[in-house]
Structures are given as C-alpha cells and as structure tokens.
Structure 1
Amino acid sequence: MYVARPILVVAIVCSSGVARSGAAQMTAGDLVSAARTQLWNGNADSGLALLRLALDSGTSGTTSDRMNALVWRGVFQYFKGRDSLARESFRDALTIDPRLEVTGLAQVDSLLALEFEAVRQSIPVPQTAARPTPALARLAAGRSADTLFSCVPDCHGLDQPPRILSGMSETVAVESGPLIMGGVAVVRFVVDTAGSVEAASISVVSSPGAALRETLIDHVRPARFTPGRAQGRAVRVLMQWRLNVRSR
C-alpha cells in the first residue's frame, strides 16, 4: 500500500547508524540526535528503539532531554500512521511543561503542528507559572476562533461534527491500468467554518497506488459539509475520509 506521508525532518544532524552496544553508553541527548538521523534515513523502527533508550529511567538526561525525546517519539509514531500514540507522546511532553515550544513541526508536516497544538489545548492550565510564555498564554486564553478540532480517529469537543452534503460520492472511479488497482484510499483534510475543504490541508494518508494522489485530492477538494460546531459556533475540524477506488 502506498503511504503518502513524506518523511522530511528539519535541523537533522547527519551521521551514520548507531550500534546497539554504543547506544547503551550514550547520553539521552545523544540518543535523541541519533534517532532523528534514523528518521532521516527512513529507519523509523531503529529511531523508536533509540528513543526508548533515551526515555529509560537508567539513562542520564535532563528534563529537557526527556521532553525532546517524547516529542520526537510522537513524530515517529505519526509517520508510522499511529496517530493516537503520537498524540499520547505529545501529551506526555506537554504534561511535563505545557509552555513547551517546538519550532519546525510545521516544516515537517503542517498537520503534525496542528495536532501538537490541539493536544496542548487538552492540558490543564497550571495554577502558577514562573515564566509565562506565548504557549502558556495561548493555553490560558482558551480556544481561539481558528482552533482546530479533530475527528481523527474520533471526534472530541464538538457539539456536532461536519456532515457531508448530499451528492458527494465516497467512490472514486479511475481508469484501469497496470499501476492502478481498486481498493480503499484514506484522505485527510480540514473542513473550515463555512463547510468547505481547506485545499492546502488535503493529504493522502494511504492509497492503492501512488499515481492516484492527484485524482484523490481533486475528488476531495470541492466537497462541501455542514460545518462542525462547538459551543454554538462553527469551527474548523480535521477529518479523515475513506474512499472506495473503482476501475472504470
């Protein structure tokens, strides 16, 4: 199955792979750096193994190292398609310090950055804060007008999720060919407060074939929904749509 989440990591320190025997002697910070390199090389499982070592209670490391490892574990889980585990890792990091700022997530994946901020909104506001930050200010202010709610995998915090309007087909007919097969595609996108799909947000999570990407995006782009609503107002909502792909 074709997975359309490109692995693009910013601020990567390029180095060769780390042997298991050497990893045990590395600091938590070194292990996180090595894990990031594994993501660059497309070795997600190796990277997650290094992050497990970094988070091990027997590995020396600072609180900052632990938060960094948790955030990167969330990034790895996201690219493996384990969205719930990604959110769990982000929540673990933000529980340590909800003021945590992570720069560069939007450059990795715009939806990944939105997921991180959505998780931040679920963290209780601390009673006191020694050093207020923009992140804490956003948290204390509550949800803004452009807050992104999520219905992936389930809807949370909504009075009413977006509903597809009649006339929109969940079946995509494509020309048959040696590189095109029938099957199920999964597409993710944001529905805005007017019920339209935000074109820049559309991403193909999985597809029966890489050649179908543009066809799937074109199919979803004009879709119209009744807007999602929370506390009586229309809100932006992250959606995931399963489409049946059929050959003509």
Structure 2
Amino acid sequence: MSRRTLLVAALACSAPALAAQSRSQELITNARALIASRDFPRADVALSGALESALYLLDSVNVFLWRGILEHLRGNDSLARLGFRQVVSLHQTRVKGLDQISPGLDDLFESEARPFRVYADSELDQRATWVSGPKFAYPPELLPRRVTGHAIVHAIIDSLGKAEALGFMVLEAPDQAFDGPLQQMVLAAQFTPARRKGHAVRSEVTMGFDLRPPAPQSATRLITTAREQLRMRHADSALALTAQALDSANQATAGERVFALLVQGMALRQKGRDSLATVSFNAGLAGYRDLTARGIDLAPFLKRLADSIRISRRAAPMEAPTVVGTVDEPPALIRHPPIRYAPEMQALRIGGTVVVEATLDTTGRVLPATVKVVQTPNPVFDAESKRVVLAAEYRPARVRGRNARVTIRQPITFAAY
C-alpha cells in the first residue's frame, strides 16, 4: 500500500480549503503517513490529537474515517465499523477508493453508511415500488368547485418500505388543499423497498397522481342509513351521515333536503341538543310546507315522518300526580320539560301512558334514587318518562299545616294521533 493510494482515499472526504493547514489537519496528514508505514501505535496517538484539536466538522469526520481505516488494518473490524458509523452520522459523506487501501473496506464502510444514506436511482439494483395504500381522501372544501388536476410528490422510502415524513414534499398540485391528504395517503402506504447489492436501502421516489372528486353519493341512501344508526342509538354517526347528505356536492333534491333536516333534528334531539334540534325541525318542516304548497308529490314515508315530528312537538299538558297514601294537601305539578315523543314510535302509531313512581322531599324536589316505572305500554318510553319526572318541579304536599315527604305516581301520556 503506497502513500499515494492513501492520499487518493483521503481526498474523497476533504476539509475546507485554508491558506495553511490547521493543527488537526497536520495531525491527520501525519497519521496517514504513519499508517502507510504501518506504525499503528503512533498513528493512533496522532489521530487522538487531531480529534482534540478539530475546529471544523469535516476535521472530525476525517479523523473518524482514518480511525476506521486504522482499526481495519489492525484487524479490529468492530472498531472500524464504529469509526465509519461516526463518519456517516456526522456527515453524509461519499468515500471512494477504500478498496485500494484494503480489499473489502468499501463494503465495510457501506454497511455502516447504508442506514443513513438515501440512494439515487443510478445506484440501485431495484427501485422502490408502491404495493398498497389507502384511497386518496378528496378535500371536502374543494367539493363545491370539483377541482381536478395532476399532482407530483417526492418521498424518501426507508428500508422497511415506509415513506418518511421529513422527506415528503408536494412538488406540484392544482390546489394547496391537496397537500395534506396526499401526505396522509403516501405516509400510510406500503412500498417494496429499493435494493442495492442484495440489501434493502433508503431511496428517493417521485410519483404522480391524478386527482378527481368522488362521484356524488345518493342522499336518500345516506339519510336512510342515518335512520338505521338512530335506531341503534348512534346519534353521532347519524349526524355525520345527514351532514354528508346535505353537502352540496351530493346534489340532494329539495325533498331529500327536507328528509335530511328532519332526521338531523331527530339525531340532535337524541343527543339532548334540543335547541339545535328545533332549528333543524323548523327548517325541515318549512321546506316540507313549501313543497306541498307547490303541489309536489312527496313519498308517503316522508309525509308520515313530517306528520309524526309535527305532532310530537305539540305541547300537551301532563296530568296531575296521584299520592300514595293520605295527605291534607296533595303536591301540584308546577312545570316539566317538553316530552320527547320518539318520531319512530309516532310514525308507527305506538302510544300509551307510562306511570312513574317517585318520592318528593319536603321542598317538592324529586329524589332520583326513588324514580321507577311501575306501568308502561312499551319499554321504549321508559327512559324518556323517567327523565321528565326527574326534571319536573312540584309544589310540596302538606300534612297538618307542614310540608311533607310523599310518594307520588305521575302519569305521562304518549298520544298516537
């Protein structure tokens, strides 16, 4: 091995050019000469001094490079790997000519550089390829304009076949709103990693995608599914489906919009958001009246739904409670919340009277632990009946001139008109 050969290898990883060599560079030059003469102990000392006096990053890189070469020549490949690993962790250096120093040194260096390096197409035996991934999620905000076009993205695919977030970049797209969904799709995709010399390696890929809005969905189908979700008490899912049905991209008819607004109101009421439910019901029923006034023939099921909701919103007085036992002056119902008559039950003409038993304290307040249903025409009405009684306000009963604790039975009627 000649000094000239060592110099060729060193030039592949040179430090910044200066008018005069730094102390670190002088020691590296001295170490290279000592390695060439196989004076390994003194070369070791020189490299240690060079690392201590290094002023620049590339000075340190050169020290670790020659330390790896020195340990390999000593027969310590584990220490050589450590030196090379420090080289590539500090700087993405391309080192050439190592095999001229010692056969196999190039492969040894590359085995440590491989996890850090990103290989260009020209260096690969096999490129990374897309295997599977999620469908592109078209941005909802672009649906009204139905923006289309072609996008080009750049990504770094790791040795496991996954795109790296830091290496992702949208090079071209018809609108910035596409950037996030493109990134989510590519990062969730699975690739076959690129290969070089039989090893999976990191590599760069550039991909193109044609971006088109999804075909409009059937508003009727979405709302029908929402009603099914309501029957299973999945109000949030029902609200999401009605929102999709009302989206202008799905081109709902006037009748479908009425249908969606009424079901949306039902979902909001199921969640206890009565004020918002009222807004949806009012809009839906106003649309319904407008369509019927114009003589538009609506589907029978929509007529039944609108009628049942209109009837269920009528404020019907709740009967006075009866007392279990004897009192001088019975309690009186002062006020109660609106009774929510489930439109589904109204549409089926299912009604009846539920009797709820509860104990009132001396202030007329209902004691929650005492509330129970003692008579019901259908268990579907039980939860709503107990809710109404719990929220009701009563004037307390009186015995011998004093407020008294009593047990009452409160009837609640769900009228099937």
Tell me the TM-score range normalised by the shorter chain. 0.3 to 0.5
Greater relative CO, 1 or 2 (CA 8 Å, sep 6+): 1
Larger radius of gyration between Structure 1 and Structure 2: 2
Q: Normalising by the residue count of structure 2, what TM-score does the alignment of the two structures yield?
A: 0.26
